[in-house]
Amino acid sequence: MTEICFDVLGIAPTKDETTIKKAYRKLLHSVNPEDDMQGFQRLRTAYEEACRYARKKEDVREKSASEQFMDRCREVYASFFRRIRPEEWEALFDNPVCVNLETEEEVRRAFLTFLMEHFHFPAEVWKCIDRTFDISGDRRTLTEWFPEDFVDYLCQAAQDEGILNYDLFEGRESDDFDGYIEAYNRFRQFTDLGMMDQAKQELAHLRTFTVYHPYGEIEEARILLNEGKKDEAGEIFVRLGRAYPDEERIVSCYGQFLQMEGRWEELRGIYDRLLEHYPDSAAARSGKAEELIHDGAYREAREIVLDLLEYSPQDERLMKDLMDANVFMIEELEPLKAAGELDQEGLMDLGWCYYQNMKFEDALAVLDSFTPDEEHVLDYHNLKGRVYLTMDKNEEALKHLQPWLEEILKLKPDGTKKTQRRLARLGYAYYTIGSAKAAIFLRGGEESGLAEAMEYFDKAIAAETEESQIVSYYHTVADIWRQRKEYGKVVDACDQMLMRNQGYYPAVLLRQEACLHLGMYQQVADDYQRAVHMYPYYGRPYATLIKMYFMFGEYDKVQEILSLTEDNKIQSDALQILTARYRAVTARNREDLEEALHILDVLKEKGWSYASDVEQNEWSEVDYRRGLILTDLSRLPEAKEALEASMADGGEDVSRLFGYAAILMQSGEYDQAIENLRKALKYVPDDTGILYRIGWCYKLKGDYKKALPFMKQVLSLDPEHPRVRHVIVELYERLARREEDNEYYLLALPYMEEQVEKYPEEYYLVEMGLLYLDMDEYEKALVWFEKAREKNPESVFACNNAGNCYLSMNMPEKAEPLFLEAARLMKNEITPLPYNNLAKCYRIMGEYEAALLCYKKNMELFPDSADMYLLLGDFYRENEQYSKAVATYEEGMSKTDTPAPLELEMLRTYGMKGDYAMASSLMQRLRRKYPEDAVLCQLAGEVYLFGFEKGEEAAVYLETALRLCEKNENRECLLGSLYLLGRCRQFLGEREKAARCFEQYLEVCRGRDGRSRKYEEFFGERGRRKFRIGCAWLFLGEIAEAERCFREMHTEKYRCDGCARACCYEKMLGEAMILFARGDVSRAIQKYKEAAEKVPDDMEHRFEYEQMKKWEESP
């Protein structure tokens, strides 16, 4: 039966009646006897049975003295009206067991453990407990026994006066007083925080108790006032004020209500009577001061307020009272000053009034109007220093604060209130000097300034006697270290604050944030628990914890905390920013991002205010987060503007610089992106993400040599980086192609080998094959493409590139099935490569109809691609179908955004066709359209020379091309233009000029000493380049050199890159040219004819053939 009753109550069997009561009370709310009489009876029976079990004496060993002591403690606590009387506990604590050396520690530990669940005491009882068990004086030992937050709670409870007057409770002994106290604490916290909806819900809960306390009605009246129901609220205040005329809180609230209503006659004597009972009551004294101000006794009121401000310098009500009293003082003193009737005492009073009412310029004007005598010099420097300090004129402030300190140090106690007040300012004087020096340092002063400031703060703390002031000094110190980002010192300062005042909420918040920066994540969570236990409806501790969860990517926990804040209806800008961030990070679609952006847009429109829980210098987070979301929404101009705004006024940090650089990269502003990334790198010099992006920017700029060191640094810092080796390979490949230097391919090779060893994925296996393909190592390339196909049998690119290898090796019959397979495999990844390469394969094999079908298939797949029209036009030209080629180019120009290549090939086609009029007309239009295009001018020279035999016009275009090549550093165009200009001069009979052109051509190809073979040995280009160099030698009359080049060309067993010819006609032309040079004209012409038949669309060699025939036919 015993076990069953505890099962019904939902707790383990226990002898503790308080625990049984709590369980019963908790379940009682869920069982309504009118709806479920059986369930109610079952619960009541279980409760009674559990109580009998708890009270039943067991035949066990005799309890120890300490156990008996704790039983008596439980007995006293169980009776509410005994529990709240200090004399009950004093009698208990007089027991020798509490001081006996053998039992003292055991009893102390047991009683403090008891307090974990039994803690609803009035302040007088807590002080009795503290005196007996030394809670405040032995915190270190207690933290070894108990959790730190529990020890902090004990210390705070021992110091606080409490918010409830336990003597006012009414009820039966069996009533649920503990439940009422907990409900009241929540109720009052809601009203204090202005959370009236929650307060009204808690009020409804409070009314379910049979316990009564007048403070509950006070809070109800506050709700009514908030709703504008003054009469109903007033009825409560008046009734309670008259029923409890000597109760401090009730009478203070009653008095404030009368003041608010202007019922000053009814107020007479209320505060006086209260002060007779509580002469130190701050509420009564401030109320009395306000009464005196109303009565015109503002000097007396001002003295009261100044006394109170000594202990509560930040109290807003007191500051208002002081300013109200000062208004009357100023009205009295200003005319006297104008009449010159104020002595220095009066001038000082007027100066203080101006200062306290924030009329700083007026205060300075008064102080500048006289030189203080010996009696007033201390207060003069005090006031003037404070005015300058408040105005942030710190250098000027120090000129007065230091003399003020010196004057204080000269003082000797004389028993007067004035001297006592002055001496009490010693700590504050040190503090103000420290504050001024710190402000100067933080604005860019010397490092020694900070050390000096900290020395003054240390002296301020040592000299100060008020604990609250010491805490405020440490708060300033913590804030300075926070601005310096020296978070370990922030934690030290916060610990000092909390050691003196365990309930000092700002210290908990500061320490929590500092610990987040230090990676002390358990302390972040602990301080969160501590903060929300103190004030569960303030946003910052939740926000700091959420930031920690963001760091770990624990978005479920982020959502959990955000949901908790929504349930508690916490109004917080910081939480709004984090909510937007969470929704952006977890966004599944554009609508989610737009919703996150809307939250931030609302905050931006509202703007920062002093009411915000986000500090002013952190408000730029709104723009930063907006910038990131706008980036994700591809609204780049707005994103850039937002990120620029987030970094204004010194808001730069690594993440913002990084985000801004990302926008600049997407906008193509690479130099600015690099500049911002380099700034970020100063904060984190070994950050691989930043180094990688700097390298990437240089890569996007085409500055590959500058990109390489950054990528290599990333690799050295992070050898497991998944992509950087491949990027290094890409950079070397691009340098190889740009500088036409095979050495770069060799440098890339070991990085690619490492990449495939570490990450043997299909993509990198294909890339390894492509590197070998670029190096003309086709057998090795095939091995890697085959490995890629083993990894993924449906790899389009592995099939396609394997086919390319066979094509380059002059094995089109092996290439064809691979290209067909690649085309078949195209599903998710559609690419023009298989059909283009298949068409090339068929052209080499002479199967022109099949090639045409492939080109047309690609045009169906890619109707807007200029490349498709270029390839099909080239096919038609090869087959001398020039009209179809022109029509193809025209169609392409109407459909693509990049018509320039098509326009140039149309010009070439008119040259092949021999249509001078159309070529000239087109050229005029293109020159106007592309006035700085060197390639266009080179092509025009080629067309006019070889197509129309217009040597002089060709020369003009080629000379223009050379000028533009030098300007644009286009090496390939430079070489082509030099060669063509040499041919042009040769055609015009200008042999010396022609020779100079060919010599310059060879110098660019082989260097000034003629020894470099880098250009002509470049992979994939050796055949055609050796042919062209051989031609240059031949035109210079160097037949032996030309023969050597043509011979080497004959030894090349692989095709040149991109060649779709059925045979290498350059080899035939080389033979023809040597034959002609040696005088064997007939055989030369026959070779030219064979080449022209094989490749009828090459203008130069058709031109050469025609020139030979003319030479042969000439007499």
Tokens representing 947? Answer: 């197509």
For residue 947, give the nearest of 986, 989, 982, 917 by alpha carbon: 917
Residue-level pLDDT at 35: 63
Q: How far apart are CA 883 and CA 768, in angstroms?
A: 43
Please state, in angstroms and rounded to a whole number, the distance separating the CA atoms of residues 484 and 449.
13
**pLDDT score of 881 more than 60:** yes
- Give the C-alpha separation, 574 to 1038, whole Å: 81
Structure tokens at 552: 């770990």
Runs of H (alpha helix) within 590-669: 590-606, 621-632, 636-646, 654-666
pLDDT at 61 over 60: no
Mean pLDDT confidence for 639-655: 83
Percent of the chain with pLDDT over 90: 46
pLDDT of residue 1112: 66
Confidence of residue 756 (pLDDT cuts 50, 70, 90): very high
pLDDT value of residue 41: 74
Residues belonging to the chain: 1115
Query: pLDDT band at residue 29, thresholds of 50, 70 and 90?
Result: low
Span of 268-277, 629-638, 1096-1105 with lowest mean pLDDT: 1096-1105
| Helix (H) / strand (E) containing 453 | helix 447-463
Count Cβ atoms within 10 A of the Cβ of residue 62 and give its class: 0-12 exposed, 13-18 middle, 19 or more buried: exposed
The mean-pLDDT minimum among 46-60, 536-550, 781-795 falls in 46-60
How much is the pLDDT for 3? Answer: 61
Domains annotated on the chain, with CATH = 1-60 (1.10.287), 652-754 (1.25.40.10), 760-857 (1.25.40.10)
Of 540-549, 648-657, 703-712, 968-977, least confident by mean pLDDT is 648-657
Residue 32's pLDDT is 64
pLDDT confidence of 549, banded at 50, 70, 90? very high
Amino acid at 1055: R
* Residue 571: pLDDT over 90: no
User: In the predicted model, is pLDDT for residue 721 greater than 90?
Assistant: yes
CA-closest candidate to residue 1021, choices 764, 755, 776? 776
pLDDT value at 623 more than 90:
yes
Residue 650 is predicted with a pLDDT of: 62
The pLDDT value given to residue 1079:
82
Query: pLDDT tens, 779-814?
Result: 999 999 999 999 999 999 999 999 999 998 989 999
What is the pLDDT averaged over residues 40-64? 74
Q: What is the pLDDT of residue 148?
A: 76
Q: In the structure, what pLDDT confidence band is assigned to residue 131 with cuts at 50, 70 and 90? A: confident
Please give the residue that has the higher pLDDT: either 184 or 400: 400
Higher pLDDT pick, 249 / 703 = 703
| Range 454-469 average pLDDT | 92
Please provide the average confidence, as pLDDT, over all residues in the chain.
87
Task: Tell me which H or E stretch contains 1022.
Answer: helix 1022-1035
Average pLDDT over residues 640-651: 83
**3-state SS track over 487-543:** HHHHHHHHHHHHHHCCCCHHHHHHHHHHHHHHCCHHHHHHHHHHHHHHCCCCCHHHH
Q: Which are the contacts of 173, defined by CB distance < 8 A and separation ≥ 6? A: 79, 80, 81
Q: Which pLDDT band holds residue 33 (cuts at 50, 70, 90)?
A: low
Averaged pLDDT for residues 1083-1111 = 77
CA-CA distance, 213 to 96, in Å (whole number)?
37
- Over range 485-503, report the average pLDDT: 90
pLDDT at site 1014? 87
**pLDDT digits over 253-307, tens only?**
888 888 888 888 887 888 888 888 888 878 888 888 888 888 888 888 888 888 8
In terms of DSSP H, where are the helices of 369-425? 377-390, 394-410, 417-424
Q: Does residue 1054 sit in helix, strand or coil?
A: coil
Query: Tokens in use for 126?
Result: 């807590």
Higher pLDDT residue, 563 or 326?
Answer: 563
Residue 113, amino acid: T
**Where do runs of H (alpha helix) occur along 647-703?**
654-666, 670-683, 688-701
Is a pLDDT exceeding 70 seen at residue 745? yes
Report d(CA 838, CA 846) in Å as an integer: 12
- Averaged pLDDT for residues 1036-1062: 83
242-256, 455-469, 854-868, 1060-1074: range with lowest mean pLDDT: 1060-1074
**CA atoms of 910 and 902, how far apart (whole Å):** 12
Helix/strand/coil (H/E/C) assignment for every residue in 801-857: HHHHHHHHCCCHHHHHHHHHHHHHHCCCCCCCHHHHHHHHHHHHHCCHHHHHHHHHH
Examine the pLDDT at 690 and tell me if it is beyond 70.
yes
pLDDT band at 649 (very low <50, low <70, confident <90, very high): low
- The CA-based dihedral angle spanning residues 414, 418, 424, 426, taken in that order and rounded to the nearest 10 degrees: -90
Q: Are 1076 and 1033 in contact (CB under 8 A)?
A: no
Two structure tokens written together for 134: 């030394």
Is residue 1's pLDDT more than 70? no
Structure tokens at 570: 């916490």
pLDDT of residue 821 exceeding 90: yes
Higher pLDDT, 576 or 183: 576
Q: What percent of the chain has pLDDT over 70?
A: 97
8 Å CB contact between 159 and 131: no
